[in-house]
Structure formats: C-alpha cells, structure tokens
C-alpha cells in the first residue's frame, strides 16, 4: 500500500501541475483549443498508463507472495521489481517533463502568433489612420479649390449676365431695324407696283388720244404733250423707285446676313446658358446621334458596365460613319412634277445590318442624325449647333430664345436676391 500511495501522490502532483498549466492558459486567454485538447489527451494517456502499471505491479507482488521461494530470493525479486519500477518511473518522469515542455512550446508559439497578429493589426490601423489623414487633407484641398472655382464662376456668371443682356439688346435692336427695313421695302414695292399701273394706264390713254385727235387739233396736241410730260415724270420716278428698290433689296440681304450672324453669335455666346437638360429652349447639335438610344438598347443585352463601354464604342463608330463623304444612304423621290425630295434609302446595306443587329431604337437615332446632316450641313457632314425648341421639336425663333433668356435671368436675380 505504501508503494501505491506513493504512485498516487506522484500522479496527483503531476495532475495538479497540469491543472495549473491549463488554468494559466485559460486565464491568459491565449490557449488555443488544439493545445487544450492535446493536453487533455496526454493526461488521459498518462492516467491509463499509470493504472495499467499499478495493476501489473500488484499482479507481480501477488505472484511473488504466492511463490514458495526462500526469503532471500523473495527479497531479491522484490529489489528487481523495485529497480524496474524506479527505472520506469524515471522514464515516465522524463516523458512527462518532455510533454510539459512540448505543451509550453505550443503555448509560447500560440502567444507569439497572437502577438504577431496584434502587431500586424496595429500596423494596419496606423497605416489606415495615415491614409485617412491624407485623404482628409486631399478632400480639404479639393474643397478649397472647388470653393475658389465657385467664386470665380460666380464672378464670371455675373459678367456673363451683363454680356448676355447686352447681346440680347443688340440682337433685339438689330432685329427691329431689319423688320423696319423690310416694311419699308414692302411699302416701296407697293408704291412701285402702283406707279407701274399708273404708267401703263397713262400710256393707254396717250395711245387713245393719238388715234382720236388729228394733227390740226391744238387742244388734242396740248393734251398729248401734257400726257407725254407726265409719262416722262412717271418714268423718272419709276427709275428712282427701281434704284431705291435695289438699294433696299441689298439692305435686306445684309439684314438677313446680320440676322444669321446674330443667330450664330447667340448660339455661341449662350451655349452655357442654354445647356440645362430640363430647358425647353436650348442648343441642339444637328447631326449628332442621340447617345441614350445606344445606352438603352445595349443595357438589354449586356451588364451595365459592359453596356456603357460598348455604347460609347458603337456611338463613336457610327458618328464617324455619318461624316464619311463616300457613304450616301439616300435616294431621290418625286413629290410632284416640279419637286423632288431626298429620303433615307431603307435598302442601304449598312443601315440594314445596323437595324438587324442592334434594333429599331438605334436605327432610328442614326437615321434622324443622317436627315439632320443632310438638311443642315450636307457638304461638311459634321454636327452643327442650332437654337432648338425641345418642347415642340423644332428650330427656335430668336423671339423665343430672347424671351426665354430674359425669364432665366429674372429667375437668377430673384434667387440671388
């Protein structure tokens, strides 16, 4: 019993030390589940091993007691058993120490990995903090630049408002002068036509007088002379009227040229003012393909990002195709005996392929751009800006544009006020 008690005491001491290691691992919260499992498995193996050895020792002792050997031989065998037991205990102690060292090594490795992980996490957080600081500084700089740009834009907008008002007033005055000249020309044309009728009537009367009166009739001769003088005056007046008419026609052409120049200047000067997508009066580039048609059609066939890329590629391709002077997808048809019209050739090979591969929406957008090019710039075949009434789908008049601009300027003034 003394030997068994010693073994149990040693086992309990080993068990208590293992418990301390386990409690320390749990308390420090760095013990990994695998380490705990290995420790538990090692203890179970140790307990089973000790139990088997104890049973073997008891069996050997019983065997020795039952043998009818003399006392000396019995003691000798006892010494052998004790010696073997001590050797076994020494081996077991060494194994236990090695096991504990292995457990400690695993524990240290786990702590090292944990510390390395914490170090990496701290480095990441430090890097993130530095990047966030840089990002904040960049955003602050960008915000300062935007504020400066907005202030400059506000100053430029005020200047633009003054320029727009001046430009609109000039165009209004030039238009009024042109209309006045046109009215004068119309009055002069009416007067000319009236004078021509009077001359024709006077010539008729003169011929009648010549046929009715004789050469000896002094009264008739005087009347004819008066009528000839009147006719001469009328003809001189007619020549003067013709000269004035030519002058007015020249002025009318100049006025029309000035109006076209004014319209062109207005388009160039008001590109920013009339660039709002919600405005019903604005600038439309005649001959430019509507990009929305390509985006809508291709989004039905491809994912959003891929559809946007393909839409840009195809739109650019067909815009260049429209500019090609060697491509003429038109045909001429007779409207009546004296009038002809150029229309889209629906049998054109390129357009047919476009309609078949990409659908009606893109086909319609391309043909609309072709018609606009044919109407507004058939020689250059590139898109040109035009004042446009988007609400009614037609070219805007100068009156509509000027009225719309005044309305916008009043709205902006109210907002600033």
Q: Give the model confidence (pLDDT) of 350-361 as tens digits.
A: 999 999 999 999
pLDDT higher at 19 or 362: 362
Same domain, yes or no: 69 and 108: yes
Same domain, yes or no: 95 and 184: no
In a domain, 277, yes or no: no
**How would you classify the pairing of strands 330-334 and 281-286?**
unpaired
Burial environment of residue 286 by CB neighbours within 10 A (0 to 12, 13 to 18, 19 or more): buried
What number of other Cβ atoms are within 10 A of residue 337's Cβ?
A: 5
d(CA 271, CA 145): 25
d(CA 266, CA 312): 30
Residue 258 CB partners (closer than 8 Å, separation 6+): 174, 178
Residue pair 269/169 in contact (Cβ under 8 Å)? The answer is: no
Same domain, yes or no: 84 and 37: yes
Domain endpoint, select from 220, 244, 269? 269
Lowest pLDDT segment from 27-31, 118-122, 189-193? 27-31
In the DSSP assignment, the letter for residue 341 is E
- Domain coverage including residue 106: 2-136
pLDDT higher at 370 or 258: 370
In a domain, 375, yes or no: no
Same domain, yes or no: 120 and 168: no
**In 3-state terms, the chain is what percent helix, strand and coil (to 5)?**
80, 5, 15
Q: Highest mean pLDDT range out of 23-37, 132-146, 381-395?
A: 381-395
In a domain, 407, yes or no: no
d(CA 272, CA 291): 20
Domain endpoint, select from 244, 269, 294? 269
Same domain, yes or no: 200 and 130: no
Q: C-alpha dihedral over 230, 236, 241, 247, to 10 degrees?
A: -170
Same domain, yes or no: 108 and 51: yes
Residue 385: strand, helix, or coil: strand
CA proximity to 289, closest of 266, 263, 312 = 312
Average pLDDT over residues 21-29: 52
* Planar angle of CA 378, 382, 387, nearest 5 degrees: 90
State the distance between the two ends of the chain, measured CA to CA, in whole angstroms: 108
- For residue 35, is pLDDT > 70? no
Same domain, yes or no: 117 and 189: no
d(CA 331, CA 132): 64
In a domain, 296, yes or no: no
Same domain, yes or no: 53 and 112: yes
Beta bridge partners of 387: 283
Q: Which residues of 38-51 are buried (b: 16+ CB within 10 A; e: fewer)?
A: ebeebbeebeeebe
Same domain, yes or no: 73 and 110: yes
Report how far Cα 208 is from the mean position of its chain's Cα atoms.
85
Same domain, yes or no: 129 and 173: no
CA proximity to 405, closest of 171, 151, 150, 176 = 171
In a domain, 247, yes or no: yes
Total domain count, the chain: 2
Q: Taken in order 89, 94, 100, 106, is the CA torsion positive or negative?
A: negative
What's the order of all strands across the beta sheet hosting 281-286? 281-286, 384-389, 394-395
Residue 107 CB partners (closer than 8 Å, separation 6+): 21, 25, 30, 31, 35
Residue-wise pLDDT for 151-192, tens only, equals 665 565 566 556 656 666 666 666 666 666 666 666 666 666
What number of other Cβ atoms are within 10 A of residue 97's Cβ?
A: 10
Same domain, yes or no: 16 and 103: yes
The confidence score (pLDDT) of residue 15 equals: 47
Residue-wise pLDDT for 271-291, tens only, equals 555 555 566 788 888 899 999
Q: Which residue has the tokens 């149990």?
A: 8
In a domain, 62, yes or no: yes
In a domain, 148, yes or no: no
Rg (CA), the chain: 55
Same domain, yes or no: 55 and 120: yes
- pTM of the prediction? 0.41
Counting residues of the chain whose pLDDT is more than 90, the rounded percentage is: 9
Q: C-alpha dihedral over 42, 47, 53, 54, to 10 degrees?
A: 170
- For residue 375, is pLDDT > 70? yes
Domain endpoint, select from 242, 269, 296? 269
Residue-wise pLDDT for 289-302, tens only, equals 999 999 998 888 88
Beta bridge partners of 340: 334
- For residue 264, is pLDDT > 90? no
In a domain, 389, yes or no: no
Average pLDDT over residues 224-241: 70
């Amino acid at each position: 019993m003394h030997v068994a008690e010693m073994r149990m005491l040693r086992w309990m001491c080993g068990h208590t030390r293992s418990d301390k290691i386990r409690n320390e691992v749990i308390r420090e919260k760095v013990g990994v589940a695998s380490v705990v499992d290995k420790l538990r498995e090692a203890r179970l193996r140790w307990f089973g091993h000790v139990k088997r050895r104890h049973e073997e020792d008891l069996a050997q002792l019983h065997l020795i007691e039952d043998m009818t050997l003399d006392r000396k031989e019995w003691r000798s065998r006892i010494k052998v058993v004790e010696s073997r037991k001590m050797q076994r205990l020494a081996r077991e102690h060494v194994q236990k120490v090695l096991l504990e060292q292995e457990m400690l090594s695993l524990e240290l490795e786990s702590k090292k990995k944990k510390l390395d992980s914490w170090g990496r996490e701290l480095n990441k957080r430090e890097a993130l903090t530095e990047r966030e600081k840089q990002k904040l500084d960049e955003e602050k700089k960008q915000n300062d630049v935007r504020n400066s740009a907005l202030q400059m834009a506000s100053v430029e907008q005020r200047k633009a408002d003054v320029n727009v008002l001046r430009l609109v007033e000039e165009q209004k005055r030039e238009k009024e002068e042109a209309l006045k000249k046109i009215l004068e020309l119309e009055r002069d044309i009416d007067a000319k036509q009236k004078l021509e009728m009077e001359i024709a009537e006077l010539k008729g009367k003169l011929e009648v007088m010549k046929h009715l009166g004789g050469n000896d009739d002094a009264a008739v001769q005087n009347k004819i002379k008066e009528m000839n003088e009147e006719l001469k005056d009328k003809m001189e007046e007619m020549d003067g009227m013709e000269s004035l008419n030519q002058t007015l026609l020249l002025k009318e052409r100049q006025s029309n040229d000035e109006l076209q120049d004014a319209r062109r200047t207005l388009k160039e000067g008001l590109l920013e003012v009339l660039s709002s997508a919600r405005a019903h009066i604005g600038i439309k580039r005649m001959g430019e393909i509507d990009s929305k048609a390509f985006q809508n059609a291709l989004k039905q066939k491809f994912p959003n990002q891929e559809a946007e890329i393909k839409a840009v590629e195809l739109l650019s391709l067909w815009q260049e195709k429209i500019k090609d002077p060697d491509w003429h997808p038109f045909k001429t048809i007779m409207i009546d005996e004296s009038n002809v019209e150029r229309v889209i050739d629906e049998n054109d090979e390129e357009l047919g392929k476009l309609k078949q591969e990409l659908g009606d929406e893109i086909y319609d957008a391309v043909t609309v751009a072709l018609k606009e090019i044919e109407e507004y710039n058939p020689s250059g075949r590139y898109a040109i800006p035009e004042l446009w009434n988007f609400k009614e789908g037609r070219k805007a008049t100068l009156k509509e544009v000027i009225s719309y601009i005044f309305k916008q300027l009043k709205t902006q003034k109210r907002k600033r006020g």
